[in-house]
Each structure stands twice: as structure tokens, then as C-alpha cells.
Structure 1
Amino acid sequence: MKSYLRKYELVAYLGVEKTTLSRWIKYYKEFIPSFRQGDVVCYGHEAKVVLKRVKTLREQLYSIPNIHEILLNEGYPKFGDDGEYLSP
């Protein structure tokens, strides 16, 4: 298994529109490990877990700030812009 995912793979896994996924990645980027490989942005496999949780919370009509707080309280790790692990 490769060690990263592309955006189209996350779209297929989550069953959401690409624009929705892009918005979630923008809003919750500190919880989603990413890195550039040339011109392509790649995401760590941890992104699947975080984004699946975001999808569930959005389906339950939680707001963006509430979801952010929930992710923090549930202990999801935070990542820097370079995809480096920052904290639990």
C-alpha cells in the first residue's frame, strides 16, 4: 500500500463532492497531514479517519467551530503545514 492518498481517492472513499472535500481540508487542515510531491498535494492515511469523522459530524448538523472543538476534545493529532506531527 502506498503511504499517501490523493484528493480523488478521498472523494471516492468519503462519497462527497470534490468541492466539499476541499472546503473540509481548508477548515480542518491542522488535523489533516499533507505534503507536496511535485505539483500534487498528497494526504496521509490519517486524513481518512479525520474526514470520516467530519462527515459524520456534518451529517449531524454540527457547525464548523463545533467540529473543530470536538476534534480537539477527541484528541485528534495536529499537523503542521509540512505534514509533520505537532501534538495529540
Structure 2
Amino acid sequence: MTNNLLTKTKMSELVGWSEANGRRWVKNLKEYIPTVTSQNRIMYTMESLRIMKFFKRLNEVGLTIPEIKQILSKEGLPKDELEEQKIIEQCKATREFKNYNEEIKDTIPSTGEMMIPYLKLIRDGKAYTASEITEKLVEYFKLRAKTNKI
């Protein structure tokens, strides 16, 4: 039985998350993740792993932890992969991506692309508000909001 038990770190790795990200998901959704105590340590089962992989798939659809909690409180935990897939398909069908334009997605700078300009901005050691930083990055990348008239 002990061979099938997983640490939080190992479970995160198997799901495909960093240890920190896995810990965050376990902490926020612990009431849905089965645990076993072994030698005074909290361990996770293969069922825990299945559930964590389900959470990851929901997250990949674009759902946040609060949205996932809401779905779980309404639907409960899926009993198998077929039920998981049904829930995921429902989420995909109802998920609204407002004002998302496939044609312009590649023109939005990635976090990595913004890092150097951001670091150059804050290297003077001054305190900046998030709005000031956003304004400077928008100016640097020459971004503008597109308004849709109805």
C-alpha cells in the first residue's frame, strides 16, 4: 500500500505542476483531495492524483480555483474520466472569452517579453503603483485599447 502513496511534491510533479503551484492547488482544494496518514505524514493516493489532474485540465480550459470550487459544489467530484470529460466539455461550451480576437493574440507581449523593460523601469529603486508601471509598459510596447462599437 505504501508504494502507491505520493508526497505532495511527487503528486505535483506527476500532474505537471511546479511544487509551489501544486501546494497552492492542494491548499485551496484540500477538501476534495483524498489523503492517507502514513508514518505521521499526510500522503496522497492514486485517486488524489486523478483528481489533481482533473483540476489541471479545468484550469487549462481557463477556470480559476473559485470557479472550480463552484462547479464542484454544484456537480460534486466526478467518479471517473468519463464524468470528468463531460464536466470539462460543459465548461468549454459555457466559457465566455469576451472580446477575444484570435487575429491579435500574437501581438500581445508575453510576460517574458515584458520582463526586461519592467526591470529597467524599476531599477531606479523608486516606488511605483501598478497603474504607473502598466502605463509605462503600454507606452513602451505602443499598445492601445481597441474599442468595439455596438
How does the TM-score come out when normalised to structure 2?
Answer: 0.45
CA-based RMSD: 2.1
CA separation in 1, counterparts of 2:76 and 2:6?
A: 22
Whole-angstrom CA distance in 2 between matches of 1:8 and 1:65: 23
Structure 1: tracts of 5 or more residues without a match: 78-88
Give the corresponding residue for 1:53. 54
Please state which structure has a larger fraction of its residues in strand: 1
What's 1:82 paired with? none
1:74 maps to 75
Match of 1:24 in 2: 25
1:63 to 1:11, Cα distance in 2 relative to 1, 3 A: closer
Q: Cα distance, 1:42 vs. partner?
A: 0.2
Instruction: Map Cα deviations across residues 50-84 of structure 1 (whole Å, 9 max, x no partner).
Output: 1111111112221221101222333317xxxxxxx
Partners of 1:35 and 1:13 in 2: CA distance: 18
Work out which of the two has the higher radius of gyration on C-alpha atoms and give 1 or 2: 2
Identity rate of aligned residues, in percent?
Answer: 32
Q: Which runs of 5 or more structure 2 residues have no equivalent in the other structure?
A: 79-150
Spell out structure 1 runs of 4+ moving beyond 6 A.
none
What is the total number of aligned residue pairs between the two structures?
A: 77
- Using a 3 Å threshold, how does the CA distance of structure 1 residues 9 and 62 change in structure 2: closer, same or farther? same
In structure 1, C-alpha distance between the alignment counterparts of 2:22 and 2:33, rounded to whole Å: 12
Residue equivalent to 2:14: 13
Distance in 2 between residues matched to 1:51 and 1:61, nearest whole Å? 15
State how far apart, in whole Å, the 2-side matches of 1:46 and 1:27 are: 17
Partner-residue secondary structure (3-state), 2:42: strand
Which amino acid letter does the alignment assign opposite residue 30 of structure 2?
K
Distance 2:58 2:46 in 1: 19
Q: Check conservation: 2:5, 2:43, Cα contact below 8 A.
A: yes
Point out which structure has higher relative CO (alpha carbons under 8 A, 6+ apart): 1
Q: Is the 8 A contact 2:11 2:49 kept in 1?
A: yes
